[in-house]
Amino acid sequence: MMVLEVMISRRVMTMISIFKPVYSMKKVILLSTVILLVLGALLYFVKTRLDPPMNIVSDRQYQEMAQACIDEINPKASMEDLNMRFFKAGHMVVYMADSLLLSSEDADNLKEGLCKKYIPAFTDKCFEYFRKSSVWDSTVINTIRQQVGVVKLIHLSSGKRVVDNGSRLNDAIDSVFFVTKRNEEALRLLKNRTFHSMEQSEQTMAKVKIYQNHDYLQYNTSLCDSLDMVARRLEKSHYDALDRRVTSLRYPDDIEEDEFGEIYQKLMDDIQEYEENASRVYGYVREVRDLKEAANDNYHIGKNVIQTRNSGWHFDLIF
């Protein structure tokens, strides 16, 4: 650059010496002024365009850029805005770390700062949604579960999770996850329509009461109203199962009379169990007198079928 400036200066002086004898002093001064202006413009162009100054970004500036992105997280913003800024800041930190623009220590500190800023705001938004929504949108619940999973996957350069087991941040994020897990269990319970045993029905109804009185599920009135129907469906399934067994007594399998008697007695015991416990378990019980009478009648019909079969007679019975 210095060589170029010297060359240009010498050229200017030569031009002045050449034109001096010809022109008057005034014209020489005017010409010199014009040449100096041209020279100044040329030097400015060389310095700013051909050899522009370089603004070197320091490691500290990259760290500040990432921190500013984290600081954009606003606890008062919507859930969508909160999640968007979390992903934006997290992506920036990971990109800078992978590009060696941040040291491992700085990247770790930024990740910890991001989680400390995001998790309290995120959990507050989740609990606010749980309390204020009478119908929980499955899309929102799935998004919450996904966010919990993403946060738990953030690791430091040492391999340790940022949200480590036993930490306050982990407890906070788990408290949200467990609400969504209870909600998922309750939804599965709604699909339970088949009676298996009185013991299992008692366990099912005990879970129904737990979910309906849960600290946050109780605000999901749509779910709680649906859980009210579980008892009625189980009771119907229970009674219908007994009724089918009563009918089957008319058409005994190829069994001995003693075994058939045991089947009948077990059925009568189960009808008695329903009569004594249905009201307590389901909150509703049907009159079983007709069921017992039908069972007794069908038992004698079935017993007669077995005795006739064992006597060697083979004919069709029309009932």
Please report the pLDDT score of residue 186 as a whole number.
97
- Tell me which residue of 115, 137, 116 sits closest to 126, measured CA to CA: 137
Mean pLDDT of all residues belonging to the chain: 85
**Every domain of the chain and the residues it spans:** 2-50, 59-188, 211-310
Q: What is the pTM of this model?
A: 0.72
pLDDT tens digits along 79-131:
999 999 999 999 999 999 999 999 999 999 999 999 999 999 999 999 999 99
Please report the pLDDT score of residue 309 as a whole number.
85
**Is 179 exposed, middle or buried, given 0-12, 13-18 or 19+ CB atoms closer than 10 A?**
buried
pLDDT tens digits along 277-310:
999 999 999 999 999 999 999 999 999 998 888 8
Rounded Cα distance, 156 and 107, in Å: 8
Please report the pLDDT score of residue 60 as a whole number.
86
Please report the pLDDT score of residue 36 as a whole number.
54
Residues making up the chain, counted from first to last: 319
Phi, psi of 161 (to 5 degrees): -70, 140
Please report the pLDDT score of residue 33 as a whole number.
59
* Predicted confidence (pLDDT) at residue 18 exceeds the cutoff of 50: no
Contact 219, 257 (CB under 8 A): no
